[in-house]
């Protein structure tokens, strides 16, 4: 049983809220920011998020004919790239718990002519609605920190992954560089909410996003969680000084 199942409250940023309330609160955040999500990602990261995602694609080992699940796929950055790799013989499922984000992603991919081998599914990562041993690769980029029960989500991913398949978690993480940490904290809590207010008309949601990053498990803790979910060969690669880390694990 995961630790979360023994608690009546969980973190929502720096606040403790009833477990049953977190899903709705997170949903409200992403309903609010969905329309400006891509623009804000570029502004928040200086465009570097595209490089982080490019590296994830390169290290996925995806090839023609694969079946891939992109959890918390949002506006479809990874799905779009995977769709081109797997071709007509493969399939990519873009899954997101938030219908506003899913709609933005679907509209964006259809506008770019990417839809033939893509399926859109509204799904909770903690209880994925797919059969066992379905996917060759599962990715979740900048989504795990918003999940209420991360252990349950990782177990669910392991269940629907094929033996020999790979789970990839791209997420903000922890840097051990003191100067970089101070600079990053100043940016996150002083600049980011103001930017959210100016661009998306929503400072509070971006305050939450900054806080959720700080509450996310560090690299070694997440690696251990993936191992506890039944994955093997678990490892991580830091990017941008550890501000972001790419964790991978294999289903035996």
Residues in the annotated binding site for S-adenosyl-L-methionine: 75, 96, 124-125
SS (H, E, C) the chain: CCHHHHCCEEEECCEEEEHHHHHHHHHHHHHHHHHHHHHHHHHHHCCHHHHHHHHHHHHHCCCCCCEEEEECCCCCHHHHHHHHHHCCCCEEEEEECCHHHHHHHHHHHHHCCCCCCEEEEECCHHHCCCCCCCEEEEEEECCHHHCCCHHHHHHHHHHHEEEEEEEEEEEECCCCCHHHHHHHHHHHHHHHHHHHHHHHCCHHHHHHHHHHHHHCCCHHHHHHHHHHCCCEEEEEEEEHHHCEEEEEEECC
Binding residues are: 75, 96, 124-125
């Amino acid at each position: 049983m995961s630790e979360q199942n023994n608690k009546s409250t969980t973190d929502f940023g720096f606040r403790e809220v009833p477990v049953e309330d977190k899903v709705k609160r997170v949903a409200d955040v992403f309903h609010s920011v969905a329309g400006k999500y891509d623009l804000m990602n570029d502004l928040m990261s200086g465009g570097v998020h595209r490089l982080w995602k490019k590296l994830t694609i390169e290290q996925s080992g995806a090839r023609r004919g694969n079946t891939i699940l992109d959890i918390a796929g949002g506006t479809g950055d990874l799905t779009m790239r995977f769709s081109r790799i797997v071709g007509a013989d493969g399939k990519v499922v873009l899954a997101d718990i938030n219908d506003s984000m899913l709609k933005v992603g679907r509209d964006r991919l259809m506008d770019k002519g990417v839809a033939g081998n893509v399926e859109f599914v509204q799904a909770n990562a903690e209880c994925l609605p797919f059969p066992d041993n379905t996917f060759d690769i599962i990715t979740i980029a900048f989504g795990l920190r918003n999940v209420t029960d991360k252990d349950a989500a990782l177990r669910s991913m392991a269940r629907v992954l094929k033996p020999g398949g790979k789970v990839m978690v791209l997420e903000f993480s922890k840097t051990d560089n003191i100067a970089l940490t101070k600079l990053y904290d100043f940016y996150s809590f002083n600049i980011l909410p103001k930017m959210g207010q100016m661009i998306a008309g929503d400072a509070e949601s971006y305050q939450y996003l900054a806080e959720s990053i700080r509450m996310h498990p560090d690299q070694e803790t997440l690696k251990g969680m993936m191992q506890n979910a039944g994955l093997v060969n678990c490892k991580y690669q830091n990017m941008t000084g550890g501000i972001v880390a790419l964790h991978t694990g294999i289903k035996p």
